[in-house]
Structure formats: structure tokens, C-alpha cells
Amino acid sequence: MNLKQVLEKKGIKGAPKSFDQIGDIAIIEIPDKLKNYEKIIGQTILDLHKNIRTVLKKASPRTGRYRLRKLKLIAGVNKSITEHKESGCRFLLNVRTCYFSPREGTERIRVAEKVGKGEHIMVFFAGVGPFPIIISKKTKASDVVGIELNPACVRYFRRNIVLNKLTNVRVIQGDVQKVAKEFYGSCDRVLMPLPETGYKYLVYAIRCLKPEGVVHFYFISPENEINKWKKLVRREASKLKMKTKIKEIKKVLPYGPRIYKWCIDFIVS
């Protein structure tokens, strides 16, 4: 039985079926109308999943440049640091001070599978390092650089490089807008996992590429507005007198009612 069904048996209707699990921490969205039942919901998750020690409720939307949200303890141990395992890699992080989405594991593998031997990889907006670390572990990339603004993420990213025993990954703390210029013309592939505002940084990604390099550009859009984003990609490249060729448009995850997170993979020449 899933969470919703167990709670229905306890007389609580309208609870979510699922929640996110990062390491041994569960993070759940609880509708306002069930506010008075949140402790029971939290305890039910602990009873159903013996590998979860802490249940946190989403207490605000994600905000700010670091894309963080408020989280409220509703059951279990009061902690926010955990170790998450994904694709054979280990990620230590603080869920209150660092962005991390366990839902994006399939997308990280999709991109890693495109990486060729000897590639120089750049990951803008790198967080605690899931894309760089999985790419380093799973591919024969020559080296992987991550750029991240949030100092808390950068600290965990550095620890995660050591935890996963990697020698070809490095992280630079700073704003992509300022740091990317050190890498102009040197990358085979640039990843841009900041879907809400990443479009503002397309010119920096394109400038980092070698000829025939690839950009993985994430954005949020309804299905019927994809053409607008294709045009934007073309326009940003043409500002730099470059041409683009779209390789794939991937619907990554649902984001809201009829709105999705997408990725356009495109080559620049």
C-alpha cells in the first residue's frame, strides 16, 4: 500500500501518494487542508519506510539565486545533513542549504551517455556536483569543471569529489557570468541545469564551446511554446555569429499543471 492508501485507512483523505527521498530524509508537500494531520503523516512515512529517519515538510516555494526552500520538521530525528546514493555515486549534502533533486537521476544518466572519450565538460550551476560526479564516474571524459555560486554547495561538492575518489573533477565557486570567461573556446560540452533563469547565460555557454561543441540547455515551458525556446537558442547563437543545430528536445519532468522542465541539446558551429 502506498502512503495515500495507508492514510485513507486512518481516515485522512487527499494526502499525496509519494514524496522525495534524499538519503534518509523524506521531503513531502502537504496540502494546507491537511495541516492538522502533518505529524500523523510524518509518522506514517517513518513506519512505512525503515530507511527514513527524518520527515520534512515543504514550507515555502523555492526562491532566490540558490533555489532553496524552507523545510519544517514533522517527524523523526531533527537533522538536515544526509548521504544520498545515485547511479553508484555518493552525495553528501545539507538539504536546507543546498539544492538537490533526486528526481533528476534519469536525466543525469541520459546526458552522461552522450559524453565521448576525452571530452572537456563544463557544468554551470553545478550544486553539490551530481552531474559532474556522475559524468566523471560513468564516462571517459578528460576532465569535468563545475561552477557554483552557493558556498554551502561548493563545500559539499568538494567533499563529494573526495568521497567518490575522483581526480578529474574540479569546482569553482562563483557566478557563471564572471567565471565562464576563463573557459572560452575550451569545452566540448556545457550543461546548464538552471531551468528558471538559465536562458540568461546561453551566451556564456556558447562562448565556452569549441567548434561543434554541444550545449544541454534546461528551461521551463508548456508544450505549445517550445518553438519560442528554439528561436531563443538560435538568436543567442546568432548574436555571436554562430549557427545551431538541435540534436534532441527532451521532456525531462513535469513542473506544474501542463508545464514541464525541458532540455534542448544543440550543437554550435
Ligand X SMILES: C[S@@+](CC[C@H](N)C(=O)[O-])C[C@H]1O[C@@H](n2cnc3c(N)ncnc32)[C@H](O)[C@@H]1O
Q: Which residues are near ligand X by CB under 6 A?
A: 65-67, 99-101, 104, 125-127, 130-131, 147-150, 153, 175-177, 193-194
Report the C-alpha gap between 127 and 214 in whole angstroms. Answer: 21
AA identity, residue 25? I
SS3 257: coil
User: By C-beta, is 29 or 175 nearer to ligand X?
Assistant: 175
User: By C-beta, is 37 or 131 nearer to ligand X?
Assistant: 131
User: By C-beta, is 19 or 100 nearer to ligand X?
Assistant: 100
User: By C-beta, is 70 or 245 nearer to ligand X?
Assistant: 70
CB of 160 to ligand X, least distance (A): 11
CB of 23 to ligand X, least distance (A): 14
Cα end-to-end span (Å), the chain: 53
User: By C-beta, is 176 or 215 nearer to ligand X?
Assistant: 176
CB of 96 to ligand X, least distance (A): 13
Q: Tell the residue number behind the cell numbers 508537500, with chain if given.
A: 29
CB of 244 to ligand X, least distance (A): 22
User: By C-beta, is 200 or 231 nearer to ligand X?
Assistant: 200
Report the C-alpha gap between 191 and 208 in whole angstroms. Answer: 11
CB of 176 to ligand X, least distance (A): 4
Contacting residues for 55 by C-beta, under 8 A, at least 6 apart: 25, 26, 28, 41, 42, 43, 45, 46, 73, 74, 75, 76
Q: Which residue number is nearest to ligand X in terms of Cβ?
A: 127
- Using CA atoms of 119, 155, 77, 8 in order, give the dihedral in degrees to the nearest 10: -40
CB of 126 to ligand X, least distance (A): 5
Cα 175 to chain centroid distance, Å, stands at 17
Q: Which helix (H) or strand (E) holds 141?
A: none
Q: Are 188 and 208 in contact (CB under 8 A)?
A: no
Instruction: Report DSSP state, residue 63.
Output: B
